[in-house]
């Protein structure tokens, strides 16, 4: 059945997309400086998150974006991570 195969393939692709987005989320949380120190990387991240929203993953894109914003240099979360605020 080609429909069954297409449905199975879509299910697998959805799982792969979620795994990739969760990996990106962990990377952004662990290494936010990569995006703040390189404007090109930051633009690529913003564009990727815009595309993610278009695929129906609004919630995960928003989570990644909000975690990234919390880790901006000067934010309370960033300062706590560096030990500036105790």
> Please, how many CA atoms are within 13 Å of residue 5, restricted to the half-sphere of its CB?
2
Tens of pLDDT, residue by residue, the chain (86 residues)? 567 788 899 889 889 989 999 999 999 999 988 888 899 999 999 999 999 999 888 999 999 999 888 888 776 655 555 555 54
Q: pTM of the prediction? A: 0.70
Alpha carbon of 72 to those of 29, 32, 54, 60, 66: distances in Å? Answer: 11, 8, 25, 19, 10
């Amino acid at each position: 059945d080609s429909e069954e195969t297409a449905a199975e393939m879509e299910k697998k692709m959805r799982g792969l997309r979620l795994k990739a987005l969760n990996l990106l989320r962990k990377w952004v949380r662990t290494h936010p400086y990569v995006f703040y120190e390189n404007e090109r990387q930051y633009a690529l991240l913003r564009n990727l998150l815009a595309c993610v929203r278009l695929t129906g993953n609004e919630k995960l894109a928003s989570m990644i974006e909000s975690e990234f914003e919390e880790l901006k240099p000067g934010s309370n979360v960033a300062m706590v991570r560096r030990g500036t605020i105790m």
